[in-house]
Amino acid sequence: MTGDEAADRSALWQLTAMRTARLDARDLMDATLARIAVSDLNAIVSLRERDALLAEAASPRPGPLSGLPMAVKDLADTAGIRTTYGHPAFADHVPEADAPMVARLRAAGAIVIGKTNTPEFGLGSHSYNPVHGTTLNPFDRTRSAGGSSGGAGAALAARLVSLADGSDMMGSLRNPAAWNDVFGMRPSWGLVPPAPQGDPVLHALSTDGPMARDPDDLELLLSVMAAPDPLVPGSGPYRPAAPRPLRIGWLGDWGGAYAMEQGVLALCEAGLDGLAEPMAPPFPAEALWEAWTTLRSFAIAQKMRPLWTDAFAAASKPALVWEVERGRALTLDAVARASSIRADWTRAMAALPVDVIALPSAQCFAFEATLDWPKRIAGREMDTYHRWMEVVVPASLAGLPAISVPVGFHDGLPMGVQLIGRRGADGDLIALARRLWRAAAGERRISGA
């Protein structure tokens, strides 16, 4: 089989073929670079030199990902490879060391070929920035690929790579997965330990996680990304789970709290294959939103504190300035109230009579790539740059595992359903996603991108 034919196959197939000498890692690398060269999606940026990559493929490091080309999200530091965070102040930044997650990928044998595009510091679910430009959707090149792992989602859908990492604070693994007809998983917080900086408990909102075109590949990458870390609660190796009956509650639009574009709810409910039962909202949506926006602004302001000057703010996107200014103005009482709401929601989720709650992964289909963000959904005004992403908050606020599973297309644009499980039940979610994926096998549409 040629490298180009192999590039269409799953990561597990590619890895098995390389281990059994049916596929040469150099042929796969050559095909990968050829596809990237002709792609018009702007999904992969800061690409390394061809000769260096082919040389690395000639003698890849052994491991579960040996010889596999991967592009790392441009929010994660990569030693020797430009890492911009999508911000002009870092346009020429080349880190000296890998982020811990990247180090684990390299140790597993993955060959880091470059970066995947992301919005500035990952803010907003639309991957555009002044350094690298806009990533386009493989299914409609006038539309957004989502974000902040939009470059990763588009690269997977277009079969430029077979595995991709991402990160998720506010749906950044789930929204682009839905819009690119792939899988994206936000693990239980801590399972993939963050870099050792700041307070890992106080700001437990964002996490790295895997993206792939099928559940088996997703599970493989999660098993590499996860690792025990004595400094991070909840860290440890990923443990697969055998399929078992799970009770699923369908929350839809959370009792009307979340505006939904026409077609989203019907696709997602159908994608659950009759396994879910309707349920009433288990917690006030506005309380979740209050807690989330407070803790998010607080975390972002604290993260940006070492960089924040008048000149840096002037060069930053309005959403980042808004978050930092809002976070710096918060009172101790406001942060304490938000933390209390988060604790109440965590307890409420743990007491639910279902194992999994299901909602759409996004509230609208991919919007025009020229927009900053959608200002209205279903006639309802979106009052902030991220209100249209509110459906992802229940999982993010409590650090719960959530996976986006493709459910089909509406007017040519894909969508995914979001499955949210109990903390630590990551294996159960992947097993459920695998069941739904196999049940819908006859109806899946394969991208020609």
Query: What pLDDT score does 328 carry?
Result: 98
The angle formed by the CA atoms of residues 411, 178 and 374, to the nearest 5 degrees, is 70
Per-residue pLDDT at 258 exceeds 50: yes
Looking at residue 60, what DSSP letter applies? P
Domains recognised in the chain with CATH numbers: 3-443 (3.90.1300.10)
CB 151 within 8 A of CB 45: yes
Q: What is the pTM of this model?
A: 0.96
361 catalytically annotated: no
Rounded mean pLDDT of 224-253?
94
73 catalytically annotated: yes
Query: What pLDDT score does 5 carry?
Result: 96
Instruction: List residues bridging with 421 in a β-sheet.
Output: 356
Q: Of these residues, 144, 162, 172, 404, which one is catalytic? A: 172
83-132 per-position pLDDT tens digit:
999 999 999 999 999 999 999 999 999 999 999 999 999 999 999 999 99
Torsion 352-353-355-357 (CA) sign: negative
- Separation in Å, CA 76 to CA 93, 94, 165: 12, 11, 10
375 catalytically annotated: no
294-331 per-position pLDDT tens digit:
999 999 999 999 999 999 999 999 999 999 999 999 99
Q: Of these residues, 144, 148, 396, 404, which one is catalytic? A: 148
Query: What number of residues does the chain have?
Result: 449
Query: What pLDDT score does 421 carry?
Result: 98
DSSP H stretches of helix in 108-174:
150-157
Q: With bands split at pLDDT 50, 70 and 90, how would you rate the model's confidence at 202? A: confident
Query: What pLDDT score does 195 carry?
Result: 80
Residues 212, 152: Cα–Cα separation, whole Å: 9
Query: What pLDDT score does 139 carry?
Result: 98
Query: What pLDDT score does 442 carry?
Result: 46
Q: Which two tokens stand for residue 74?
A: 């441009």
Query: What pLDDT score does 200 carry?
Result: 66
Q: Of these residues, 73, 115, 303, 317, which one is catalytic? A: 73
Query: 228-237, 267-276, 368-377, 391-400: which has the minimum mean pLDDT?
Result: 228-237
CB 394 within 8 A of CB 420: yes
Residues 7, 27: Cα–Cα separation, whole Å: 10
